[in-house]
Structure 1
């Protein structure tokens, strides 16, 4: 009899700032899209329950910042990942050229047991922009790069229109299942990751007045944004959720 116990799969989304990582995640999980751009601070995640081959899974999708000043957080957020999603903007050459750097950085920080077989999926996003006339990275070029890295699955997507988003995440889930670790190992990994991620939050709470000023960032409209950490309980494991709050 097939197991109906819900399992956890951790997905990491990487790519340059502005390629649509947050929009892809929100389109897949919430069926929502916003034209208003706000850079992710540190990392955030959403969860979605899916059923595959009579098994229930909770996808924990981590949306990470594309700015260099946040890359030092990589170890805490990358460890324990079951699949890494590399995203670029088909209209921006640099975002495609940087895919190799993101892939190598992930392999260094996450330290998977078998780097050669760890599952990646590449998404060429924003194919809707300009009716497709403004793209500078061809599908042929992208597929050639994916083939050179061990035949990484490739999808062209539009977070705005929802084009190919579900199909891409279905493939991502299937690839994540191939990397699913033993439960005991997963619990250990989550626990260690929790210690790494929670330590700054605990320091923040203990020295709130001191750190608050350092975490205030200028917003697009002249207001100030604050990075806020909250804790979420999921299947007996704790996870940190990092968000921005607007300070008027």
Structure 2
């Protein structure tokens, strides 16, 4: 209850109606995936139809269509913020946001809003992918990075990437080091660590589960790689940054 103007205002309790809000941790991970251009994670989220799940929504309006429209606006506001912080020009991000909100005005059904949400999310994600794969790198390195992001939860070998790109492993390794300033194997580990940092902050998955999720050979190997990259163990990182938006 809240005290306002000497009157007790009783906040509505929707628990009896079975209404639960989607976990903030899930939302943060999704927004970060969009901002990182991580198409595989975004597509998985869209396949699970999480935006359409009414159980994840707060009740902002009694009208179902208006309710989902409100949540669309909240989602695009967060995506705009995350993408602008991740490298998209602020003006470009806001232009995209304005464009989709204007399209939202003309929609009249929940399904139409869901379809627009998917279009909007994929648009932002693909634009962020292009930003991340800067024009300063060659076609082979861009394709190499795309392969890595598409298989980030797997055990990735340089030889497998080379076969996919139809080049030799030694050539690819030399080219990657020359253009990216880091070996392919170290780069892969760094990308896995960055994603594991998100899970440590915004999920309750165990350190072992996270190590397994990204196909590290063992929990101890994961902890060693994490400490080398971050400067602290996964446990200390979680203790310090759990459920914090900014680092």
TM-score by length of structure 1 reads: 0.26
- Structure number with the higher strand fraction is 1
- Structure number with the higher helix fraction is 2
TM-score by length of structure 2 reads: 0.26
